[in-house]
Amino acid sequence: MMNRLKAIRLLMKHKNLKNYLEIGVFNGHIFFRIKSIFKIAVDPDFTFDKLRILGKIILNPLNIFNKYFKKTSDHFFSNDAASLLNNNKIDISLIDGMHEYDFSTRDVENVLEYLSKEGVIIMHDCNPLTKEAACSFEQWKQRDFEGTWNGDVWKTILYLQCTRQDVQVFVLDCDHGLGFVTKTNEPSKLLPYTKEQIQALTYEDFDKNRAEFINLKSPDYFYDYFKIKQ
Ligand SMILES: C[S@@+](CC[C@H](N)C(=O)[O-])C[C@H]1O[C@@H](n2cnc3c(N)ncnc32)[C@H](O)[C@@H]1O
């Protein structure tokens, strides 16, 4: 079954993508498994210590080169990204930090600034299946962080489809909705909503228009789009 780790590994292998950035890393479940000498981890609240890093270096020696930024993605982009990435573009990025529209939109727009021409952005949590999973961070906090929380990252996918002719966007129907964002030379056709209209949309609106709002595709579409043999 397709998931974020499999997608990252396939893209790195078949598309020669190397430099990796993960926003929202948590315990490094995905991050430490990626094989690259240029990997950047950004999270204000990593849940691993030096001992776990050491163990992960033994399992995957390339982890010795990892760069860790214990801060929000906004701080990373305002303070560190330019010096680190201007001459070393990002080829593949997993965006999985704060799952709220404004935050995930800033994250994807910031990563696009530093993305190589053939680079790929993967956004986690784009397809919430219930209203509860699509709630705000504050509501999730009020229920003691219980249950799945995808937030409204789906609005960022819709926003990109309404504002960015220079990118192509789709979401695979697996792993909480895996959003893919790539650059394109042929201008994409835009959907007609403004940023504010998108902000005002409810989960019910999303549920009625799911396929269009996030350009939802079956997991196998990944192989067609990236021209990778199954
Ligand atoms: C769902 S977890 C990430 C899981 C990880 N990417 C994986 O695939 O296993 C979300 C992480 O985002 C981090 N986070 C929250 N707000 C953030 C922000 N503004 N910038 C970067 N990371 C953030 C949290 O600390 C948390 O560790």
pLDDT means per 10 residues in the chain (230 residues)? Answer: 97 97 98 98 97 97 98 98 97 98 98 98 98 97 96 98 98 98 95 96 98 98 97
* pLDDT of the residue at 37: 97
Cβ within 8 Å of residue 211, ≥6 positions away: none
Ligand 1 mean position to 184 CA, how many Å? 28
Identify the H or E element spanning 42.
strand 39-42
For ligand 1, is residue 152 a contact (CB within 6 Å)?
no
For ligand 1, is residue 11 a contact (CB within 6 Å)?
no
* pLDDT of the residue at 154: 98
d(CA 69, CA 75): 9
- Which neighbouring-strand residues pair with 127? none
Do residues 24 and 95 lie in contact, with contact meaning Cβ atoms separated by under 8 Å? yes
Ligand 1 mean position to 192 CA, how many Å? 31
Give the mutation target among 25, 68, 69, 78 for probing the ligand 1 site: most ligand atoms within 8 A of CB.
25
* pLDDT of the residue at 4: 98
* pLDDT of the residue at 20: 98
Ligand 1 mean position to 227 CA, how many Å? 30
Q: Name all contacts of 80-87 with Cβ < 8 Å and 24+ positions apart.
A: 81/110, 81/113, 81/114, 84/40, 85/114, 86/114
Ligand 1 atom at minimum distance from 46 CA: 27
Sign, Cα dihedral of 144, 148, 152, 156:
positive
* pLDDT of the residue at 22: 98
CATH topology for 4-225 is Rossmann fold (3.40.50)
Amino acid at 128: P
* Sequence ranges of the domains in the chain: 4-225
Q: Is 0.95 topped by the overall pTM?
A: yes
* pLDDT of the residue at 202: 98
DSSP letter (8 states) at residue 62 = G
- Tokens 């070393």 appear where? 88
Ligand 1 mean position to 137 CA, how many Å? 12
For ligand 1, is residue 41 a contact (CB within 6 Å)?
no
For ligand 1, is residue 141 a contact (CB within 6 Å)?
no
For ligand 1, is residue 98 a contact (CB within 6 Å)?
yes
Ligand 1 atom at minimum distance from 29 CA: 9
Burial class (CB in 10 A: 0-12, 13-18, 19+), 227: exposed
* pLDDT of the residue at 40: 98
* pLDDT of the residue at 189: 94
Ligand 1 atom at minimum distance from 24 CA: 12
* pLDDT of the residue at 108: 98
Give 108-141 pLDDT, tens digit per residue: 999 999 999 999 999 999 999 999 999 999 999 9
Nearest-CA residue for atom 24 of ligand 1? 24
